[in-house]
């Protein structure tokens, strides 16, 4: 059900059980946490988020792809569209939310831009929504650049779990 896609350097594929240790390590690394809540998640919380990947595809027809570095075969992160039902006071909360997390050992290689561009091409064809959104920690300059390069424009700030987040929208090209 998860479409297999490839870019020059990445394979975008379904998450596999054997990805979980690398996925958990990514979500436990300080280099990842500083861009999110800064709070460590328990193994149980990470596991439930990992399982969410399968459920989103089954129920919504979209979800997160695992990123695999073609050169090494290593799990390099995750990217996709989710419907998280976030408790946020924004009018587009129920639209598809794009998200990406790159494993820290792969930071600075342009993998996020490459993966986001690929899934936006897929989303422009397969998602029914006319727009998608994302939220980014104001201090995460790298993700802000990825969002801008992908055509997302900042539309405001919103509170999420007691933290101020920047919100961005992108309309599907006509």
Per-residue pLDDT of the chain (174 residues; tens, 9 = 90+): 899 999 999 999 999 999 999 999 999 999 998 887 667 889 999 999 999 988 999 999 999 999 999 999 999 999 999 999 999 999 999 999 999 999 999 999 999 999 999 999 999 999 999 999 999 999 999 999 999 999 999 999 999 988 899 999 999 998
What is the predicted pLDDT for the residue at 39?
74
Query: What's the confidence (pLDDT) of residue 36?
Result: 79
* Residue 167 near residue 148, CB atoms below 8 Å: no
Q: pLDDT at position 60, please?
A: 94
Distance CA 45, CA 88 (A): 20
For the record, the structure tokens of 153 come out as 């424009």
For position 38, what pLDDT does the model report? 65
Asked if residues 79 and 119 have their Cβ atoms less than 8 Å apart, the reply is yes
pLDDT, residue 98, reads 98
Q: CA distances (Å), 49 to each of 23, 27, 28, 154, 170, in order?
A: 10, 10, 13, 26, 25
Q: To which H or E segment does residue 135 belong?
A: strand 131-136
What is the DSSP secondary-structure string of 26-94? HHHSHHHHTTTTSPPPPHHHHHHHHHHHHHHHHHHS--EEEEEETTT--EEEEEEEE--------TTTT
pLDDT at residue 158, as a whole number: 96
Q: Which domains does the chain carry?
A: 5-129 (3.40.630.30)
Q: What is the pLDDT of residue 102?
A: 97
pLDDT of residue 71: 98
Query: Strand 75-82 and strand 64-69: pairing?
Result: antiparallel
3-state secondary structure of 100: strand
Q: Are 118 and 138 in contact (CB under 8 A)?
A: no
3-state secondary structure of 75: strand
**Closest Cα to residue 165, out of 131, 128, 139, 142?**
139
Query: Can you tell me whether residue 82 is helix, strand or coil?
Result: strand
């Amino acid at each position: 059900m998860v479409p297999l896609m490839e870019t020059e350097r990445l394979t975008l594929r379904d998450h596999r059980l054997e990805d979980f240790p690398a996925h958990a390590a990514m979500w436990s690394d300080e280099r990842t946490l500083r861009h999110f809540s800064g709070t460590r998640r328990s193994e149980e919380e990470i596991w439930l988020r990992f399982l969410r990947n399968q459920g989103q595809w089954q129920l919504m027809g979209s979800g997160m792809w695992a990123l695999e570095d073609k050169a090494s075969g290593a799990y390099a992160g995750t990217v996709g569209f989710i419907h998280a039902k976030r408790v946020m006071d924004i009018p587009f909360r129920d639209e598809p939310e794009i998200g990406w997390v790159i494993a820290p050992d792969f930071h600075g290689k342009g993998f996020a831009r490459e993966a986001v561009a690929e899934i936006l091409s897929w989303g422009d064809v397969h998602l029914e929504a006319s727009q998608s959104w994302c939220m980014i920690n104001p201090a995460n300059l790298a993700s802000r650049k990825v969002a801008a390069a992908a055509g997302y424009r900042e539309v405001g700030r919103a509170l999420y779990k007691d933290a101020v987040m920047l919100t961005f929208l992108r309309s599907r090209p006509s």
